[in-house]
Each structure stands twice: as C-alpha cells, then as structure tokens.
Chain A
Amino acid sequence: MRYRDENKVQAIRESAIAMVAKDGLENFGINRLAKAAGVSPATIYIYYKDKEDLLTSISIEEGLKMTTATLKGFSSDMSFKEGLWVQWKNRAAFALDNHLSAEFFEQLRNSTYKDKMVEAISDAFQSAMGNYVKNAIDRGEINEMPLEVYWSVAFAPLYSLIKFHNEGQSLGGRKFKFSEKVMKETFDCVIKGLLK
C-alpha cells in the first residue's frame, strides 16, 4: 500500500524546478530527478504519469504561486500609481525570493508546458490586470496604448533591475545590488512616464 507523502512530493517538486532551471528541459529525466530528489524513480511515478505530466503539473503550480504572490494586496480599483507600486513590490519580492522559479519559467518559454501554464492561470490574472488598466484609462489617469508598449514601460524596467541583481552586475561589469531605494527611484521615473 502506498500513501501520498507530502515531504517526498515537495522534494520532487523542488528538485525538478532546480534541475530545469539549471540544465534546461532537454537533459531532464525521471531517473536523474529521482537521484537529485533522493527518492526512487518508482516514487516519482506514484505521483506523476510521466515527464510531461510532472512538468505540466509543476509549471501550473508554480504559475499559480506566482500569480497569487503578484496579486497579494492588489485590487483593480486602486489608483493607477498605488496599484502599480503594489505590483512592483509583489513582483520584486517574488522574483528575488524565487529566482529558481523565474529561471524555470525562462527555460519553459516556447514549450507546451508554458502554454498549459498560461492557460491555467490566465483568467484570474488577466482579468485583474485588464480591469486595473481599464479603470485607470476610464478615470483619465493614463492613455490607452498597446499592451506591449504598456508592459515595456510599466514592468520591463523592474525586471531589468532584477536581472542586474541576479547577475550581480549591471552595465560594463558595474557591481549591482537590488534595493527598495533603487526600485523606488526607477518607479518614480516610470510613473511619471505613464501618468497623463
């Protein structure tokens, strides 16, 4: 008789995320994962049918974790400035605390796992984000603009700071460490550019 062992499930999940983040999808396999997680391959098959099933489930779980973290304390009724600041703080905290998760998603980019993950999380997330932007436009706080333009101004600067931080350096090898102060300074420029 086999019972679900949450500690083992957790070890399998964490090792899978770390392995994919580090080595990518091509080298990922159940046997290698079993060794890394300290469980037998049979144990992994108790919980997942195969590699596809495992990666799909884990990417959906991680995606939900990310969106829940991103939407924490956020409401689509907030003023544009307040809402964007909550978003920045949440996104920065998640990315800094879960950088393996961010690298895992990066490896998943352009894979079918990513599509399934986006499918699973998109509803709640997209309606919250969509309503927030629509409210801000309706209130005359920001102009209507293509999504790509909005994202590139509203969020890309934050991810650029996080990338510098994770690499430990910015341009020309300058040492860089993320801080709330540098985030706020960047945010102030961004909000100036977006508000009417």
Chain B
Amino acid sequence: MPHILIFKTNIATAEDRSKVAPLLNGQPFIEQWTVDIEDVDCVLRVVTAEPAPQPIIALVNAGSYECTELED
C-alpha cells in the first residue's frame, strides 16, 4: 500500500516547481507528487512506496528549497 507524506516547503511558484521536478521525477520510490502553490505552506504531497520522509527532504533541499514534514 502506498504512503502519503506531506511537507511544508517554499516551492511557491510554477517556476520553483519546475526546478524541483527533475529531482523528484524518476525516483523509483516516488509514485506521484504534487505541490499546492496556492497554499501558504506550499504543501508538497508525495505518494511513495517508502514511509520515510528523509530522502524526499534531502531531494528538495538539494534543489535549494526548504522542506519539513507537516505533522497531523
């Protein structure tokens, strides 16, 4: 069963999103990802095979964007 991980980021525009895209696309453990750029927290939502947030945070950080997991 896939896991859904939710992050607060500063991916605030379509341009930001296109910069992050190459980092997230093509990762075998990421099934699907979306960013809500209209939201104040610029929420990144990732459907993933692994319940681990750290690799995703590392990928987004590698693109010089902030990324912290949003807790329930």
Contacts and interface: CB of A to CB of B under 8 A. Distances in A.
B39 A42 contact: no
A143 interface: no
B41 interface: yes
B45 A49 contact: yes
Interface of A: 1-2, 29-31, 39-43, 45-46, 49-51
Nearest to B36: A50
Given A2-B4, A46-B4, A31 B39 contact: yes
B6 interface: yes
Q: Size band of the B side of the interface?
A: 10 to 19
B71 interface: yes
B72 interface: yes
A41 B51 contact: no
Given A1-B51, A46-B4, A41 B34 contact: no
Interface string B29-40: 000001010111
Interface in B30-72: 34, 36, 38-41, 43, 45, 51, 70-72
Contacts of B43: 30, 41-42, 45, 50
B72 A43 contact: yes
Contacts, number: 47
Nearest to B69: A42
Most buried by A among B36, B39, B40, B45: B36
B6 A42 contact: yes
A98 B53 CA distance: 41
B70 A50 contact: no
A41 B3 contact: no
Contacts of A2: 3-4, 72
B70 A51 contact: no
A43 B41 CA distance: 13
B39 A40 contact: no
Nearest to A1: B51
Contacts of A46: 4, 6
B45 A41 contact: no
B72 A40 contact: yes
Contact of A29 (B6, B39, B51, B70): B39
A45 B38 contact: no
A49 B34 contact: yes
Nearest to B41: A41
